[in-house]
Chains A and B, each alone.
Chain A
Amino acid sequence: MTEEEVAVCIQRAARGEQDACRQLYQRFHGSVRRVAFGFSGLGPAEVEDVVQETFARAFRELPRLQHPRAFSRWLVTIARNHALALSRGERVRALAAEHLSREVEDIAPAVPPSLGVERRVAVVRALIEELPEGPEKETARLFYLEGELSAREIAERLGLGKSAVTMRLERFRARVKRELLARLLAAEVE
C-alpha cells in the first residue's frame, strides 16, 4: 500500500467503511503486535488483546485524526500505552480518555525528510547489522527482522530467561531511539 492508498483508506475507515478498516488492519497489525510482543510479561492472549484494543480504539477515534501520515505512529503509541498498562497489571479500561486525546494530538503531523519511515527502517537494519555477532544481535534479528516471534518465544528458542531477552530488546530499542533522536536534533539545527 502506498502512502496515498493508506490516506484514502483512512478517510474511508473514518466514515465507517469496514473494507477500509480491514485493509488498514491487515497493513498495520504486524507493527502493533510487535510493540506488544516486546513486553515479555504479556502472554499470547494479552498480546492479542492489545492488538484488538488498539485497532478498536483507533477506528473509533479515527475521525479526530488530523494527519493521515501520522496514522501508524499513532497506532503504535496507543499500542505501547495499552501494553504498558497491561504489563503493569492495570486494567486496560483504566487508561483515561484524556490520555487518548493526547495520543491523537501529540503525534507530529510531519517528520523531517531524513526521518521518513523508509529511512528509519534503514537505520534499524543498519544498527542490527553493526552489532557484533552474538546473542544480542541474534535477539534483535529474530525479533525485528524475522518479525514472527514474541520475546517469550525467542527466550525459549535461545534457552534464555524472559527478562534477559527483554533487556536485550530494550537495549537495542534504546540504541535506535538514540540514533533517531540524533537525527531529529540534527534536522532542528539545520
Chain B
Amino acid sequence: MADTGRHLDAEGWRALQRKEPEAVAYFARHLAAPCDVCEEFLAAEQEEDALGLEALADEALGEAAGPAREDAVGWARLRRRLGAPRRAWLAGAVAAAVAAGLAVLVLPQVMRTETTPSQRIKGTVPLVLELAAMAKLPNGETPPVRDDTVLPPEAVVLLHYHSSEAADALLLREAPGLPTQVLGRYELEPGTNPLREGADLAGVSLEGEQGPVTLVLVAWPKGPGSREAVEQAAGQGAVPPDAVRARLHLRVDPGHAAP
C-alpha cells in the first residue's frame, strides 16, 4: 500500500472497513486533498459500510440548511399510523378559529369535570384545576363536550384548562382494560387557556377508540420538584393519588354521528 499513486477501489475499500493500519494510514493522507478518481469511486453506493460513512455524510448534508420549517401535514399523516390513542394537532388558521370558538363557547359556561383538591402543605391554598372541552367533528361542527358525551371516533377533542396558578401538568388517557397512556406534558399558565403544544392546539383524536375513555389532566404547582413529579407519574403511567387532577369522561361510539 506504499505506492503513492493508489486510488480507492473495491479492495482498498474493504481494507478500510477492516481498518487495516497500512490502508488507513495511506488513505488518511491521500484523501486529505480532492481526488477525482477516489471521489468517483465514493459516488457509487458500496455494499459494505462498516464505517457508517453514508450516514455521516447524509446527517451533515441534512443539517447544513439549518432547522426545517414545521411540517404539520406530514406529522398529522404520520401520527395516524402510530398506535392509539392518537393525538391530533390543529395548526395555523384552523387553530386560531377553534381557539376563538372555544373561548366564546367555554368561558360563559360552567367548567365541566371534577376537580380533586390537592394534598398540599397545610395552610396553603390548593391549586384549582378545571378542564373543559369541545369536539371538532368531520363536518366542521365544534360542539361542547360534557362529561359522558358520546362522540364518534372521527372526533378530535380539544381541551381548555383553568388553573389557579402556574403548574407542570401531564395529560393521560384511561380506558377500561388498557394501560394508562401518557398523551403529553404541558406547562400550565394561570387563568383559562387552551391546551397548546407549540403553536398548535393540543387535541386528542378518538380514532381507534371504542367505549368509555377518560382524559385526565394532572398538575403540580410550579416549584421545586414539580417537573420531577410529572416525570415520575409519566414513568409509572399512573395518576398519583395526591396529585391535583381534572377528568373528562367520554364515550366513543362508531355509530354515533354527533353529540
Contact = CB atoms under 8 A, between A and B. Distances in A.
Interface of A: 12, 15-19, 21-22, 25-35, 48, 51-52, 55-56, 59, 72-74, 76-77, 79-80, 84, 106-108, 111, 115, 117, 120-121, 123-125, 128, 144-148, 170-171, 173-182, 184-186, 188-189
A22 B27 contact: no
B37 to A, nearest CB: 10
Interface string B36-54: 0011101101000111111
Contact of A16 (B35, B70, B181): B181
Given A80-B54, A186-B28, A18 B87 contact: yes
A189 B63 contact: no
B55 A107 contact: yes
A64 B50 CA distance: 19
A121 to B, nearest CB: 5
Interface of B: 16, 19, 24-25, 27-28, 31-32, 34-35, 38-40, 42-43, 45, 49-68, 70-71, 74-75, 77-79, 81-83, 86-87, 89, 181-185, 197, 234
Contacts of A84: 45
B75 to A, nearest CB: 5
Most buried by B among A18, A56, A123, A171: A18
8 A-B pairs with least C-beta separation: A147-B65, A30-B68, A31-B62, A120-B60, A185-B28, A182-B31, A76-B58, A174-B43
Nearest to A26: B70
Given A33-B68, A34-B65, A74-B55, A52 B60 contact: no
19 contacts: A17-B183, A18-B82, A22-B75, A25-B71, A26-B71, A31-B68, A34-B62, A52-B78, A73-B58, A76-B59, A174-B39, A176-B60, A177-B39, A177-B53, A180-B57, A181-B27, A184-B56, A185-B31, A188-B19
A30 B87 CA distance: 22
B234 A17 contact: yes
A147 B25 CA distance: 35
Contact of B61 (A25, A55, A107, A176): A176
B68 A176 contact: no
Contacts of A51: 74
Given A19-B183, A181-B42, A176 B32 contact: no
A79 B62 CA distance: 12
Given A19-B87, A30-B68, A178-B35, A171 B43 contact: yes
A76 B58 CA distance: 6
Given A18-B87, A171-B43, A145 B27 contact: no
Contacts of A176: 57, 60-61
A31 B74 contact: no
Contacts, number: 188
Contact of A180 (B53, B87, B183): B53
Interface centre among B45, B60, B83 (most CB of A within 10 A): B60
Nearest to B33: A182
Taking each of B59, B62, B182, which has the highest tally of chain A beta carbons within 10 Å of its own beta carbon? B62
A106 to B, nearest CB: 7
A179 B39 CA distance: 10
B62 A106 contact: no
A176 B54 CA distance: 10
Contacts of A59: 82
A84 B62 CA distance: 17
Given A52-B78, A56-B81, A188 B24 contact: yes
A73 B54 CA distance: 9
A31 B39 contact: no
B80 to A, nearest CB: 10
Contacts of A121: 60, 63-64
B65 A111 contact: no
Given A18-B183, A145-B64, A174 B59 contact: no
Contacts of A185: 16, 24-25, 27-28, 31
